[in-house]
Each structure stands twice: as C-alpha cells, then as structure tokens.
Structure 1
Amino acid sequence: MMCKKRRREKNFRKNGGTILKHQRVRIFSEAELEKATNNYADDQKLGEGGFGSVYKGVLIDNTLVAVKKSKGVDKAQMNEEFQMEMSIVSQVNHKNVVKLLGLCLETKVPLLVYELISNGTLFKHIHDKGSQILASWSNRLRIASEIALALNYLHSLADPPIIHGDVKSVNILLDNKYTAKIADFGASVLLSTDKTIIAEKIQGTLGYLDPEYLMTGVLTVQSDVYSFGVVLVELLTGEKPNSISSSGEKHNIIQHFISALETNNLFKILDFQTTDEGEMDEIEDVAELAKACLNSMGVNRPTIKKVSDELAKLNDHNQKSWTQQNSNETDSLLGETSQSPRRKVDHEPMTPSQTVISLQIENYTDSI
C-alpha cells in the first residue's frame, strides 16, 4: 500500500499536479474513478479509439461522467497527446463542445473526465436505421449548423485558435436534447499566427482526411473544413465515406455524391424523404456547401465562418417555416372550432358526453 501511494504521488507531481491543483479544474483521485466506473468494467465502456477507451462512470454525488483512459502502449506519446488535449479542452467553453469536468493525475498517463453525453454519436444515429432523430430534414440541418458553430468557435474565437484535426461523425455526440457537441481533441493543435502546422505525422481518419494535408503534411483550418464537408455528405446520404458495396468493391461516397449533384440526381441518393419544396431548396443549398467544402485545394474552400453563417441562415428559415406552418394549422383548427354550433347555457344543458367533448376541445386548444 505504501508503494502504491508513493507511485501515485510521483505520478501526480510528474503530471503537473502541484500547479494544476491550484487551477480551476477538478482533480480526481485514481480510487474515485475506479469506484465510479466499477474498476473500468467492460459493460461500462462507451467506446474505443487510438488514444484509449472511454468509460461511463457515476460519481459519489450521482454525476454521470465519461472517463477517457489511455491504452498505455506508448506512454511517452500518450502523455504528449494527453497534455495537448488537456491544454486545449481546459480553455474551451462552448455549448457545442463537450465539457471537461476534471483530471486524474495519479496514473502514468493522466485520465480526462468529461461530462457524459447521453445519446451517443452522430455516426450511430446516421447508420442505425432504427434511430428516428434524423428522420426529419430539420433535425439534420440543425445538427449540421451546430457542428459548424463549434468549429467556427475553435477557428475564430478561441484564443489561440484551434484546429480540431479529426472531425468525423464518431467525434460528434448528441446530448439528451439531441444537441450536437464536438468531442475528442487528441489530434488537435493550437494555431500559431501563420495559421498552418507542418505535422510530424499524419493524424486523423481516412475518408475524412483532407487530401491536401495527406499529400503535403501541412495542416490548416481548411483541413477541418474538408472533414466537415464529408460529415455533411454523410448526413445527406446516410453512407460512410468509404463503404464497401455488396460485390466487395470500395465505394467512394464523395465522388458518387458530387457526380449525383452535377447530374441533378441528388434526391435519388438521399437517406431520407421530403416533399416540401422549401426543404428541397434547403437540401440543394447544403449539398452545394458540402461540395465547396470538398474542393481538393484548401484555398478554394469557404471558411468555416462562411459555412456556419449560411447553415445558420438556412436553419433559421427552416424553423420559421415550421413555426408558420404550425401556426396556420392551429388557426385552421381554432377557426373550425369557433364556427361549430354554440350551446345555449341557460336553456340547453350539456349531456355528459357533450361535456367530455367540450373539455377535450378546450384542453387541446390550450395546449396549442
């Protein structure tokens, strides 16, 4: 027990605990997180990536958390990635970015403790055909707009600016209200004044990776724009970036999408249906935005601010149209109710069945 205690204290000091314990970040003990995750039981595992695994935990005050635990294969590399992720997420504060709750510094590679996002990944909802959240175009458009807002914050409003470096549907989580939140900053970098980073190694996920970054090793904010374009295509088509056809051949959804858009066959490859002309116009606008984001040359892609502004405008228009349509339906219902024969209270008392019908109409009208 004494050896274990000394090991924890040594790790705590090595991981900067002496300084961090005075910062505005919660420091968790190793024992506290082991208890919260039932000693990292398999049935608590939420997901796994290059850095390690993420486990669901319940703290002693019943707060639900997600604990990111390193695989610990290359401890030096993992520690470097942890330090980078910690330095980034500890300064980020945006409603569409997953919030860091605290750290555990008693392990060789520290643990990150995030808020638990309850409804899983966007990837799961796109590719699990049983999910209903993406059945409507309005939800797809809203989620796309929220992702773009978060990226615009990282690129333009964070100080210093941040390149996420691994934008993909697996790294976008949906909370209990299905609000989108960007997660996993393991491949992220802080930007210098020249807005570019020459990477020592290529990081990211094939299918979402900017081809220009792949060829040159130069990472820019426009690399995130390309990856976001891939996510937009995924949201529109319901297809994975590099899927395999029934014949076993690789199917490049990006090329297929651009070809369909250029030959006026966009609506044949959508993952959802709509007959609303206003929505169809919005879908075409978003498809054109996605195509612009997927330009092979970063300099020719729109900035994420321009993309975010355009999506926000489309989303606002969509919400106003929905509200107006709902209002018209309500007016129609109230109009029909007001034109129905009125009873004379003094002379024609209602029967029990009439009373029930009247109450149902009043309650329904009040709820509207």
Structure 2
Amino acid sequence: MPMLVYEYVSNGTLYDHVHKRNGKGPLSLGLRLKIAVETAESLAYLHYSTSMQIVHRDVKATNILLDEKFTAKVSDFGASKLVPEDQDQLSTLVQGTMGYLDPEYLQSNTLTEKSDVYSFGVVLVELLTSRRALSFDKPEEERSLANVFVCAVEDGLLRHILDEEVVKDGHFETVEKVADLAKRCLSLKGRERPTMRDGKRAGRIANFFKAFRRPYDDGR
C-alpha cells in the first residue's frame, strides 16, 4: 500500500509562535529573519530548482513548521500547482487563504509564481508586526494586514505597527530593509513584485544582522 511518510516537526507552526498560541513564546528579531530567509529559499527551490515549476498557492504562517532549532519547513502542498515548462501562468479556480491571497490572482483567476511572492510578503509582515493577516473584529479598512502595513510604511508610521520584540532589538535600519522587501512583495501588480530569487536577498539582511546581534544562548 503506498504511504506518505512525513518528518515529525516538533515545534509547532510559525503562527503559534508569532501569535503566542499553545504556550509558545515570542520570537527574537534574529529568529524572525532566519525563518524569513529559510522560507524564501524553500519557495525559490519550488519555483526554480524542480523539473517543473511548482506554485505552492497557500503560503501562510500555519503552513510554515518549525523544528527544535527553529528551522522553517514549508508544508501542505494540497493546493499546489505544476506549471508546464512552456507556460508562466495558469488559468485556474482561485484557491488559498483570505488575507494571504494575491489580489491579482483573485480578480483574474490567473495563477503565477508572483502569487506565492504576495503571500510570502504577508508572512514577512506577520513576522514584523505579530498581527493576524485578516482581523474581522476591526473596522473594514483595518481588516487586511497587508493594506494596513503598506499604508503605514508609505505614511512613515512603520514603528507604530511593529511588534514590541522587534522594536526591543533596536536595529531599525535592518527592520526597514525587511519592510521595504515586504512592501515590494505586496504590490498589487504581480510584475512589480520581486521573484523568490530576489526574495532571497533577505538572506543578506539576516547575515548583516548576525554580524552584530548578541548570541542567543537558548537558541531563541
């Protein structure tokens, strides 16, 4: 009988940690950057390193698992689509999670790798703010984290929406670079978003941060 065997990932989901569920504590800025880089590398692999491009189609905090060393593992490929070599987009019924869904894909039913990029941008914003991607208990204009974040950055109010753990680390220049990357990922037009290869530039940010951050004795 054919069986799928998955690695047991013991540390829950990114959502649990960012939103402090199930007894999970806050994440340092260093760990948030590490998780962002590893997620970007995973998506870049799907987009460019397989025999046929794979678009995940449901990138979100609950689909990013963390092991005991906080290594990020992108999971749940039930909504994923293979893109034939001679195509760069697919016409398909919209599937994904509200709050993370690419608005261009939502309107056109046309799926591209840039749809994953948009969702990755929402995850980046969650990492910076510890706010939920969609909050129905807020006024309509404040429900979408992506919209709130982009407006805050454009109005020079980034500090006002950052998580206190991010602020406490005190490296605002690093945070601004990550915020700029997230804002580009959240462009309403897919062609204006970076590719996941460009998204891996977040790794440079992480390396820059590691050069002067204090060591974390407990791995956090």
TM-score (norm 2): 0.89
Please give the residue correspondences for 1:190-205 in structure 2 after superposition, counting only pairs within 5 Å: 190-193=82-85, 194-199=87-92, 201-205=93-97
Distance 1:285 1:133, change over 3 A: same
Q: CA deviation at 1:217?
A: 0.8
2:65 pairs with 159, 166, 173, which one?
Answer: 173
2:187 pairs with 295, 312, 316, which one?
Answer: 295
Please give the residue correspondences for 1:110-189 in structure 2 after superposition, counting only pairs within 5 Å: 112-128=4-20, 131-134=24-27, 136-189=28-81
Conserved 8 A contact 2:54-2:81: yes
What CA deviation, in whole Å up to 9, does each residue of 1:249-293 have, x standing for no partner?
A: 86222221111111211111111243555x211101111111100
Identity of aligned residues (%): 44
What CA deviation, in whole Å up to 9, does each residue of 1:180-210 have, x standing for no partner?
A: 00000001111212121111x2111111111
What CA deviation, in whole Å up to 9, does each residue of 1:278-321 have, x standing for no partner?
A: x211101111111100111111111110111x211011111121
Distance 1:319 1:195, change over 3 A: same
Q: CA deviation at 1:213?
A: 0.7
Q: CA RMSD in A?
A: 1.9
TM-score (norm 1): 0.55
Conserved 8 A contact 2:20-2:26: no
1:317 pairs with 185, 188, 208, which one?
Answer: 208
Give 1 or 2 for the bigger CA radius of gyration.
1
Letter aligned with residue 88 of structure 2: K
Conserved 8 A contact 1:133-1:139: no
Conserved 8 A contact 1:233-1:287: yes
User: In structure 2, what is the Cα distance between the partners aligned to 1:179 and 1:140?
Assistant: 11
Count of matched residue positions in the alignment of Structure 1 and Structure 2: 212
Tell me if 1:234 matches 2:121. Answer: no
Q: CA deviation at 1:173?
A: 0.2
User: In structure 1, what is the Cα distance between the partners aligned to 2:186 and 2:139?
Assistant: 27
Q: Structure 2: state its 5+ residue gaps.
A: 216-220
Tell me if 1:307 matches 2:199. Answer: yes
Distance 1:175 1:253, change over 3 A: same
User: In structure 1, what is the Cα distance between the partners aligned to 2:18 and 2:152?
Assistant: 20
Tell me if 1:286 matches 2:178. Answer: yes
Please give the residue correspondences for 1:318-357 in structure 2 after superposition, counting only pairs within 5 Å: 318-322=209-213
User: In structure 2, what is the Cα distance between the partners aligned to 1:300 and 1:282?
Assistant: 22
Q: Structure 1: state its 5+ residue gaps.
A: 1-11, 13-26, 28-102, 104-111, 327-368
